[in-house]
Structure 1
Amino acid sequence: MARRLRAGQRAEVFVVDVRTGVSRLVFASDEVLVEAPNWTPDGKWLVVNGDGLLFRLPVNGGELEEIPLGGVPEINNDHVVSPDGATVYVSAEDGHLYAVPMAGGEPRRVSNDRGDGFRHYLHGISPDGETLAYIGMDAARTTNVWTIPAGGGVDVQVTDDEFADDGCEFGPDGSIYFNSERASTAPGHAQLFRIAGETVEQLTDDERVNWFPHPAPDGSAIAYVSFPPGTLGHPADVEDVRVRLLEGGRIREIATVFGGQGTMNVPSWSPDSSAFAYVAYPVE
């Protein structure tokens, strides 16, 4: 079931200039709860979901334009755009991944059947567009990092442990960034990590709960969402959610918002790494 706005609530989409740190409001609605902006490779559009549907939105402001899903079941806020801009890959509420032509046409299911209760949550696409990274959640609700060819094929399990892993995304060098609770004994205390070959490197280590690492296309920074200490999971409608940049090992505060889930779940950088997008959900 798609999320809906609360009484008196708005969804506000911002684009932030990384150099200046200034956020610019490009869309606001008190009717549709939009989430998780992607950026198209031509730099002209943001791709967001709302009401179980998919839309594009002009980067410089304008109205939502629906992207036809061609019969794909209702989608959630996990979607990525191919490097050539021709395809958007989505996670549907039936637990599967689909490839949808951006210009309209017949969609294609990408994911495989992995048994009752297994669900796929899409988060990343490799720089060459050949591989998708997703979180696989089994019937016991254990989550691990997986990859699958974008054209369909055999899944590869990247992590295989009891830790809560999420938000897996490719960096420009093909390494995988993700958030995990593997470095903490406190439930929910996720931090950011990077997998390069057989090595798992921890990137953040602080009192806040850090989710959804988004490496810039040029590798200059990592944008992410930081929840207050003690937060379990990545809930919606949380006070003091911070949009942050990790640059050269230093944390840079960009914005503090009322939000969380939907604010910045998926790759949201501009193709030239000069800006990224996020969503806030203020309540009057």
Structure 2
Amino acid sequence: MTSYLEIYTLATGERQVVLETEDHIEAPNFTRDGAALIVNGGGRLYRVTWDAEVPALSPIDTGFATALNNDHGLSPDGRTLAISHKTDGESCIYTLPLEGGTPVRVTEKTPSYWHGWSPDGAQIAYTAKREGSFSIHVSAVDGSGETRLTGEEGHDDGPDYTRDGAWIWFNSDRSGAAQLWRVRPDGTDLQQMTRESSVNWFPHPSPTEDHVLYLAYPEGTTGHPPGKDVALKLLDPESGESRELVRLYGGQGTINVPCWHPDGRRFAFVRYA
């Protein structure tokens, strides 16, 4: 299988292939200066300078953490990486410097899958299974004060903060097939935001706060599998209207984590062939 790391520009619909590789890579994040992308592959993290003459996968030293899944991302100041590493058979969240180093454990309990960082840098949002089903949790960056925001009504996943910190968006199948939802960071004001025939995952609010990018699977899809004909769609949270941007072969690994460029005018994704 070939992986294609791409950047999509909203204003023009232009797609730029940054990197084509026979390695299986997933889940791109932009660095805060917008100059590079962070991707996962084979349990490791890599940096790709996307405007380099010859972009390539440059390994990031994650110390003992060599069994990473694709749930990773950067702090608001761009200095710290959150990673999700398999510990004793279950995913656990750690942090380390962007340039690499020894990971520091964050979540005491497992499984925990990082997905979002609050704009003030004080909290992280993650998917975790504590009692029954997977639900949305938040804690301080050091793991203290873990709080469960959603109940056991279904499988909740992919939490990501809005730029102003007022909402956490996520996907949930509590109403049937997975759709997009949002909730306040204190767990109040739960709202369903899409009611489509597609099965919707991994909402990512834009830095400009005027739309939300998400992954749409075909009707009837269970979970978030790889190797599917999917679409990337853009939702206007005010009007509730969405539009399709890209159709591709992908799914798991395409946009699992925050993937917007800091300017909010473009985003990164991975497709496969």
- Map 1:164-183; keep pairs closer than 5 Å: 164-174=155-165, 175-183=167-175
1:12 aligns with 2:8: no
Which residue, out of 78, 92, 102, partners 2:85?
92
- Tell me how many residue pairs correspond in the alignment: 263
Q: TM-score by structure 1 length?
A: 0.89
Deviation of 1:172 (Å): 1.4
Contact 1:144 1:164 in 2 (8 A): yes
Q: Please name the residue that 1:221 is paired with.
A: 211
Tell me the equivalent position of 1:128: 120
Is 1:245 the counterpart of 2:234 in the alignment? Answer: yes
Of 98-107 and 63-72, more deviation after overlay is shown by: 98-107
Please report how far the alpha carbon of residue 22 of structure 1 lies from its aligned counterpart in structure 2 after TM superposition: 1.6
Residue from 17, 25, 28 that aligns with 1:37: 28
Name the residue aligned to 1:5.
none
Moved more, 11-20 or 60-69: 60-69
| Alignment partners' CA distance in 2, 1:65 and 1:220 | 33
| C-alpha distance in structure 2 between counterparts of 1:162 and 1:43, whole Å | 38
AA paired with 2:108?
Answer: N
Residue ranges of structure 2 left out of the alignment (5+ in a row): none
Aligned to 2:183: 195
Over the aligned positions, Cα root-mean-square deviation in angstroms equals 1.3
Q: Give the secondary-structure state (helix, strand or coil) at the position aligned to 1:151.
A: coil
The percent of aligned pairs where both chains have the same amino acid is: 38
Q: State the Cα distance separating 1:249 from its structure 2 match.
A: 2.4
Q: How far apart, CA to CA, are the structure 2 residues paired with 1:73 and 1:11?
A: 20
> Is the CA contact 1:35–1:279 (under 8 Å) kept in the aligned structure 2?
yes
Deviation at 1:60, TM superposition (A): 2.1
Contact 1:82 1:129 in 2 (8 A): yes
What is the one-letter code of the residue matched to 2:17?
A: L
Give yes or no for the alignment of 1:256 onto 2:244: no
Kindly provide the amino acid, as one letter, of the partner of residue 221 in structure 1. Answer: H
8 A contact 2:169–2:183 mirrored in 1? yes
**1:97-120 CA distance string (max 9 Å, x none):** 01011122222111113xxxx400
TM-score by length of 2: 0.93
Q: Tell me if the contact between 2:44 and 2:66 (Cα under 8 Å) persists in the aligned partners.
A: no
Amino acid at match of 1:102: L
Deviation for aligned residue 1:139? 7.0
Question: Using the alignment, how far apart are the partners of 1:60 and 1:17 within structure 2?
Answer: 14
Q: SS in structure 2 opposite 1:264?
A: coil
Could you tell me whether the CA contact under 8 Å between 1:133 and 1:145 is conserved in 2? yes
Mapped partners of 1:203, 1:215: distance in 2: 12
How far apart, in 2, do the equivalents of 1:104 and 1:206 lie?
41
Pairing of 1:19-168 with structure 2 (within 5 A):
19-30=11-22, 32-60=23-51, 62-94=55-87, 95-113=91-109, 118-138=110-130, 140=132, 142-168=133-159
User: Is the Cα contact below 8 Å between 1:15 and 1:277 reproduced in 2?
Assistant: yes
